[in-house]
Amino acid sequence: MFYISSHTASAEAFARIVRGHWQVENGLHWVKDVVQGDDACTTKAGNAPENLSLLRSLALTLYRLSGEYSIKRALRRFAHDLPRLIQLLV
């Protein structure tokens, strides 16, 4: 794999930068797409796509702040425990 950049850094520093990029990609975008179906969303009118994406990001943040590492498990847990979900929002 090759990367082109004007950034001057040692190989170790550049490797950290690249790993940091992929950490964001795998930790947020992949989860939003695969688990939450963000890319499959067919909503196109006005600001709705951006608003839905923001709500999905908020949900991920709340799940992680609640101590859940597995987003799938968090979805199942909160779907069956509405009082706990409401407690997260308050």
- Is 1 part of a structural domain of the chain? no
Inter-residue contact 3 to 18 (CB < 8 Å): yes
- Is 74 part of a structural domain of the chain? yes
Inter-residue contact 56 to 38 (CB < 8 Å): yes
- Is 82 part of a structural domain of the chain? yes
Please tell me the predicted confidence (pLDDT) of residue 84.
83
Q: Please give the share of the chain, as a percent, with pLDDT higher than 90.
A: 0
* CA quadruple 7, 9, 14, 20: dihedral, nearest 10: -70
Which pTM does this prediction carry?
A: 0.59
Residue with tokens 């999905």: 56
Number of domains in the chain: 1
Please tell me the predicted confidence (pLDDT) of residue 35.
76
- Is 7 part of a structural domain of the chain? no
- Is 31 part of a structural domain of the chain? yes
**Residue 25 phi, psi (nearest 5):** -60, -45
The amino acid occupying position 21 is H
Q: Which domain holds residue 73?
A: 13-37+48-89
Q: Average pLDDT in the 2-24 region? A: 75
- Is 18 part of a structural domain of the chain? yes
- Is 26 part of a structural domain of the chain? yes
For 47, the token pair is 């600001």
Average pLDDT, the chain: 79
* Segment 14-49, tens digit of pLDDT: 788 777 777 766 667 777 777 777 777 777 788 888
